[in-house]
Structure 1
Amino acid sequence: MTRILKALDAAHRERLLRIAREVNFPAGTRLFNEGGHADRFWIVRSGTVALDMHVPGRRPAVIETLGFGELVGWSWLFPPCVWHLGAEAASPVRAYEFDATAVRLMCDDDPELGRAVGHWVGQVLAHRLHSARVRLLDLYAPHGSGEPR
């Protein structure tokens, strides 16, 4: 997984962190639900967040668990800005929270920052898509994904 410390150079990280606010979530808190409006995102400072997917007739399937330095939420960058997964604090979480509109405006004003953020989020998205595929195959395919755990 591409963490922000590796994905963005120091100047871009610093610009983003200037508009972040520190938030805390107790274990069991829903950060967002699939289908809701994606108007913010988080970078985990401590704790873990479980990404899940609605499965009709079953409990939500946990796709991936995120920890320190990882991005929670990518749907804010792509219109219509609707969450494609759900997220819940699996343990107490401390995170930086970002207003998506403010970040998109920063990216529009600084094309270099916009490219860097777009590349970072694209890497995260590719990883999440692969994780979702593997997890769903493990859960529902007759012989699983075939990938080692």
Structure 2
Amino acid sequence: MTSATTMNAALPAVHRERLMDLAREVSFPVGTRLFEEGRRADRFWIVRTGTVALDLRVPGRRPAVIETLGHGELIGWSWHFPPHIWQLGAEAMSPVRAYEFDAGAVCERCEADPEFGRAIAVWVGRVVAQRLHSSRVRLLDLYAPYGSGGAA
């Protein structure tokens, strides 16, 4: 993940502060599932310490790890877009400490403050674009006959 998609790099200080007003500190032991693909997305996290793997269900196989995220990175973007259903799953790969956000409260703040809402939307959009690229590369590496583009 590029530094341009971490919260500190992507959000101006005033908007970071407004977002952090809504944070609560949480922790997850190794192996905890933060969310499951296909379920309702009503919260998100920013990692303080530890790593979280994003994965995709693959019929007849173990979930494919798409990306591993760490300090300062957004875990979960599906809360921001209808139908608010997780597009991937997420699991703590090490002990994780994170800031947790209630999506409803963040959306209310976005509606009340359009400048804040735009900053959040641009940040989340950048994250989605980066995750889409990472997912494509990872799935090509796993399942395409010649990987993600190397010569045969």
The TM-score bracket by the shorter chain reads over 0.9
Deviation readout 1:35-81 (Å, 9 max, x if unpaired)? 01000000000000000000000000000000000000000000110
Q: Secondary structure at the match of 1:132?
A: helix
Q: Secondary structure at the match of 2:145?
A: coil
For the pair 1:140 / 2:146, whether they are aligned, the reply is no
2:54 — aligned with what?
51
Distance 2:112 2:149 in 1: 45
1:121 — aligned with what?
124
1:72 — aligned with what?
75
1:38 — aligned with what?
41
Gaps of 5+ in 2: none
2:85 — aligned with what?
82
- Give the structure-2-normalised TM-score: 0.95
Code of the residue aligned with 1:31 in structure 2: it is: L
Aligned pairs for 1:93-112 (under 5 A) are 93-112=96-115
Distance 2:78 2:29 in 1: 23
2:24 — aligned with what?
21
Task: Give the number of equivalent residue pairs.
Answer: 147
Distance 2:60 2:137 in 1: 20
Q: Secondary structure at the match of 2:146?
A: coil
Distance 1:59 1:135 in 2: 15
Runs of 4+ in 1 over 6 A off after TM superposition: none
RMSD: 0.7
Q: Percent identity?
A: 72
Q: CA deviation at 1:19?
A: 1.0
Q: CA deviation at 1:90?
A: 0.5
Q: Secondary structure at the match of 1:65?
A: strand
